[in-house]
């Protein structure tokens, strides 16, 4: 039994205490955090700067959509 | 094994002819090293985005992830979902625009500008080794698939695939790779959708499929539990039975769950998925892998580089349904294949499900997936060698014409190496996806640590980054060694990890160790001069000069 085995066993026992439903919400939670981060990005960071941009050229919308799809998928499975 | 008819061959030949025509046509416009390695920075977002997705999906995913879905279930979809989407979005908004502004050709080139040449060489050598090995793995993956599907000779498959990809990559460089990827992307996604729809109809719909997966997988789970119990001591057996009491009687298997417990047999228990895949392997792969980043560096503007990653993230949501569901359908149709030969499941399923003509279409889709990965790794390995070794150390004054010539000769060299290595791997019994992920896990964590430290902090020093990178790689190699049964037996220890293929854990710990070394050594060592630290995020303006 080495120090590395001891660390591994301690972490394993710690994570075994976490119910799978909580683990699932941890995964979904980081998608939610990313959505909040994307929403607060400045428009200058998410739209083309060389011309007047159309609404669909704002990358925020598509990033938001991709993350929402992830939340639905992780909600189902 | 099934026979392909003349109609199937006609479909396959038509696909290959169109691919070669696109690649050679692009090649006729290549005039310089810059054209060859970055397509003259002229690529549109939609081409780069599709190329990113189809390169990552590739032949290893189609067979390897399909095979692992057969073994472990839809949990392997985590590699395409949580392992890609968050990393692509953060990478697309934060890291990729910065690399594009720095006007670099390779990731190691950025690391020299931010840190020093020692780190550039170390990172380039490691990734060159990974890509060179991967060429062989991918070529063998395709050969095994074609062998299980149509009985074609392994050697002939390896040679033909390598030569076809080699010719258009040699001619057209990154431009040929990206534009053939776009065509291949439509072929792959279209072929896979067709395959999945036919498979689900064959089983009577989605609900009968999930019911049958639960039944078959539960039987396999019980066999697995019985086998595990036979190798346990009385104390271990009592603890195991107490812990798994509920799981013995549940009617649903783990095959349709994305979140698995810590003691699962799959490579993806939830702590490894969250802390390894989501926070380290995913970002490290999408920000630190030259093969992925290179095509975004060839985008025509900073906005197009960002858009390519966001567009790719959107398409990524679809991919696991296309690669994992065939594995589940194969589990229901052929439960007798067994874990050891699960990589053959997809080939058998194609033969059983698809009629003449469509079989050829799926083989074309598979070849498209495979070729899109091989051509990308071929071009990126060439870029690393020519830019980070040949031009940096041997011929710093090489002009664009010389760079193009050396790039093309190097491409030929890597094709020959890929063929040789694929032949050497033929007798290797481990799953293809496992080889790929284990190799990647040695370098992804340490590379991500040095990139993160260099981009986000001006106080990280070059010497600390070099030390951290080496410490991280040694950590992952050490953990890999301590998990090998032969070494453990020799040392009198039990294996370090309980899950079957703990490559996600190698990445976590190698990242943690590398970052610890960088932080501690940077605290004690002198920080880098301003001409180095200006390459942290925020230090470079939109035009490529200091902000």
pLDDT of B446 > 90? The answer is: yes
Which burial class, exposed, middle or buried, applies to B235 when counting CB atoms under 10 A from its CB (0-12, 13-18, 19+)?
exposed
Q: When comparing pLDDT for B460 and B339, which is higher?
A: B460
Average the pLDDT over each of B156-165, B450-459, B526-535 and give the range with the smallest value. B526-535
Q: When comparing pLDDT for B342 and B25, which is higher?
A: B25
Q: Is B423 on the interface with A (CB under 8 A)?
A: no
- Check if the beta carbon of residue B248 is closer than 8 Å to that of residue B210: no
Rounded Cα distance, B4 and B122, in Å: 47
Q: Is B402 on the interface with A (CB under 8 A)?
A: no
Q: For residue B139, what are the contacts with CB-CB under 8 A and spacing of at least 6? A: B158, B161, B162, B374, B418, B419, B421, B422
pLDDT tens string B372-403: 888 888 889 989 899 888 878 877 888 878 88
Q: When comparing pLDDT for B251 and B413, which is higher?
A: B413
- Check if the beta carbon of residue B164 is closer than 8 Å to that of residue B156: no
The whole-chain average pLDDT of chain B stands at 81
Mean pLDDT to the nearest integer, B125-131: 88
Average the pLDDT over each of B23-32, B191-200, B260-269 and give the range with the smallest value. B260-269
Q: When comparing pLDDT for B514 and B230, which is higher?
A: B514
Mean pLDDT to the nearest integer, B494-498: 69
Percent of chain B with pLDDT over 90: 16
Percent of chain A with pLDDT over 70: 92
**pLDDT at position B157, please?**
84
Average the pLDDT over each of A24-38, B205-219, B330-344, B519-533 and give the range with the smallest value. B330-344
Q: What is chain A's Cα-based Rg?
A: 20
Percent of chain B with pLDDT over 70: 85
Q: Phi-psi region for residue B538, left (φ > 0), alpha (ψ -120 to 50) or beta?
A: left
pLDDT of B432 > 90? The answer is: no
Mean pLDDT to the nearest integer, B56-60: 71
**pLDDT at position B122, please?**
94
Q: Collect all residues from A whose CB is shorter than 8 A from any CB in B.
A: 1-2, 4-5, 8, 11-12, 15-16, 18, 20, 23-24, 26-27, 30-31, 34, 38, 41, 45-50, 59, 62-63, 65-67, 69-70, 73-74, 77
pLDDT of B251 > 50? The answer is: no
pLDDT of B492 > 80? The answer is: no
pLDDT of B191 > 60? The answer is: yes
**Alpha helices, DSSP H, located in B60-153:** 66-72, 85-90, 96-101, 107-114, 117-150
Q: When comparing pLDDT for B430 and B275, which is higher?
A: B275
**pLDDT at position B449, please?**
95
- Check if the beta carbon of residue B382 is closer than 8 Å to that of residue B407: yes
Q: When comparing pLDDT for B237 and B420, which is higher?
A: B420
Question: Measured between beta carbons, which residues in chain B are less than 8 angstroms from residue A45?
Answer: 93
- Check if the beta carbon of residue B453 is closer than 8 Å to that of residue B527: no
Please give the helix or strand (H or E) that residue B402 lies within, else none.
Answer: helix B400-425
pLDDT of B250 > 70? The answer is: no
Q: When comparing pLDDT for B41 and B200, which is higher?
A: B200
**pLDDT at position B248, please?**
43
pLDDT of B2 > 60? The answer is: no
Average the pLDDT over each of B188-192, B361-365, B465-469 and give the range with the smallest value. B361-365
**pLDDT at position B468, please?**
96
**pLDDT at position B511, please?**
94
Structure tokens at B373: 């990965």
pLDDT of B218 > 80? The answer is: no
Structure tokens at B296: 């975004």
Q: For residue B319, what are the contacts with CB-CB under 8 A and spacing of at least 6? A: B53, B57, B61, B80
pLDDT of B463 > 80? The answer is: yes
Closest partner residue to A8 (CB to CB) among B81, B274, B497 is B497
Average the pLDDT over each of B12-26, B427-441, B503-517 and give the range with the smallest value. B427-441
Rounded Cα distance, B234 and B230, in Å: 10
pLDDT tens string B145-161: 677 666 768 888 888 88
Residue B258 C-alpha, separation from nearest chain A C-alpha, in angstroms? 6
Q: For residue A43, what are the contacts with CB-CB under 8 A and spacing of at least 6? A: A58, A60
Nearest CA in chain B to A66: B314
pLDDT tens string B159-171: 888 888 888 888 8
Secondary-structure percent of chain B, ordered helix, strand, coil, rounded to 5: 80, 0, 20
Rounded Cα distance, B101 and B536, in Å: 11
Longest dimension (CA), chain B: 71
Rounded Cα distance, B217 and B225, in Å: 12
Nearest CA in chain B to A59: B307
Q: For residue B475, what are the contacts with CB-CB under 8 A and spacing of at least 6? A: B506, B509, B510, B513, B514
Which phi and psi angles does B540 have, rounded to 5°?
A: -115, 130
Mean pLDDT to the nearest integer, A31-58: 80
Mean pLDDT to the nearest integer, B222-247: 62
What is the SS3 assignment for B456-497?
HCCCCCHHHHHHHHHHHHHHHHHHHHHCCHHHHHHHCCCCCC
CA distances from B247 to A7, A73, B71, B225, B391 (A): 27, 24, 18, 10, 59
């Amino acid at each position: 039994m080495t120090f590395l085995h001891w660390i591994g066993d301690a972490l394993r026992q710690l994570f075994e205490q976490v119910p799978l439903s909580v683990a699932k919400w941890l995964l979904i939670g980081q998608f939610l955090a990313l959505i909040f981060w994307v929403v607060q990005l400045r428009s200058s960071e998410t739209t083309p700067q060389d011309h007047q941009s159309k609404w669909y050229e704002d990358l925020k919308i598509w990033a938001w959509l991709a993350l929402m799809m992830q939340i639905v998928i992780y909600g189902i499975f | 094994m099934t026979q392909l008819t003349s109609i199937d061959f006609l479909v396959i030949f038509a696909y290959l002819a169109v691919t070669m025509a696109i690649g050679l046509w692009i090649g006729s416009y290549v005039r310089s090293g810059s054209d060859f390695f970055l397509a003259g920075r002229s690529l549109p977002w939609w081409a780069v985005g599709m190329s990113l997705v189809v390169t990552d999906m590739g032949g290893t995913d189609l067979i390897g992830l399909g095979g692992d879905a057969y073994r472990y279930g839809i949990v392997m979809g985590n590699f395409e979902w949580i392992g890609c989407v968050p990393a692509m979005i953060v990478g697309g908004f934060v890291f990729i625009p910065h690399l594009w502004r720095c006007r670099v050709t390779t990731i190691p080139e950025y690391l020299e500008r931010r840190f020093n040449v020692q780190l550039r060489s170390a990172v380039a050598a490691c990734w060159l080794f990974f890509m060179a090995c991967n060429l062989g793995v991918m070529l063998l993956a395709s050969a095994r698939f074609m062998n299980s599907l149509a009985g074609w000779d392994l050697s002939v498959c390896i040679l033909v695939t390598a030569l076809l990809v080699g010719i258009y990559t040699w001619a057209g460089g990154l431009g040929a790779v990206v534009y053939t990827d776009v065509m291949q992307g439509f072929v792959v996604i279209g072929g896979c959708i067709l395959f999945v729809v036919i498979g689900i109809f064959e089983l009577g719909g989605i609900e009968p499929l999930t019911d049958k997966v639960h039944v078959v997988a539960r039987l396999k789970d019980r066999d697995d539990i019985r086998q595990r119990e036979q190798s346990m001591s009385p104390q271990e057996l009592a603890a195991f039975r107490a812990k798994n009491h509920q799981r013995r009687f549940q009617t649903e298997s783990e095959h349709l769950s994305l979140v698995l417990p810590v003691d699962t047999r799959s490579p993806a228990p939830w702590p490894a998925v969250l802390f390894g895949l989501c926070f380290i392997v995913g970002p490290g792969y999408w920000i630190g892998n030259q093969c992925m980043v290179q095509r975004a560096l060839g985008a025509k503007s900073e906005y197009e580089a960002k858009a390519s990653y966001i567009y790719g993230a959107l398409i990524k949501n679809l991919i696991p349904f296309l690669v994992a569901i065939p594995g589940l359908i194969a589990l229901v149709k052929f439960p007798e294949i067994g874990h050891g030969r699960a990589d053959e499941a997809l080939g058998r399923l194609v033969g059983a499900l698809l009629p003449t003509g469509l079989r050829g279409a799926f083989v074309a889709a598979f070849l498209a997936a495979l070729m899109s990965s091989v051509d990308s790794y071929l071009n990126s390995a060439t870029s690393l060698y020519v830019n980070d070794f040949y031009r940096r150390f041997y011929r710093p004054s090489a002009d664009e014409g010389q760079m193009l010539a050396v790039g093309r000769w190097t491409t030929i060299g890597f094709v020959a190496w890929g063929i040789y290595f694929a032949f050497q791997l033929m007798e290797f019994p481990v799953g293809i996806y496992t080889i790929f992920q284990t190799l990647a896990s040695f370098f992804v964590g340490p590379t991500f640590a040095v990139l993160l430290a260099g981009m986000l902090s001006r106080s990280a020093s070059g010497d600390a980054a070099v030390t951290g990178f080496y410490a991280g790689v040694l950590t992952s190699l050490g953990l890999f060694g301590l998990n090998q049964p032969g070494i453990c037996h020799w040392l009198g220890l039990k294996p370090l990890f309980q899950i079957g293929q703990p490559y996600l854990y190698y990445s976590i710990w190698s990242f943690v160790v590398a970052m610890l070394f960088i932080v501690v050594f940077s605290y004690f060592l002198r920080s880098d001069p301003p001409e180095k630290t200006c390459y942290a995020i925020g230090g470079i303006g939109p035009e490529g000069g200091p902000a």
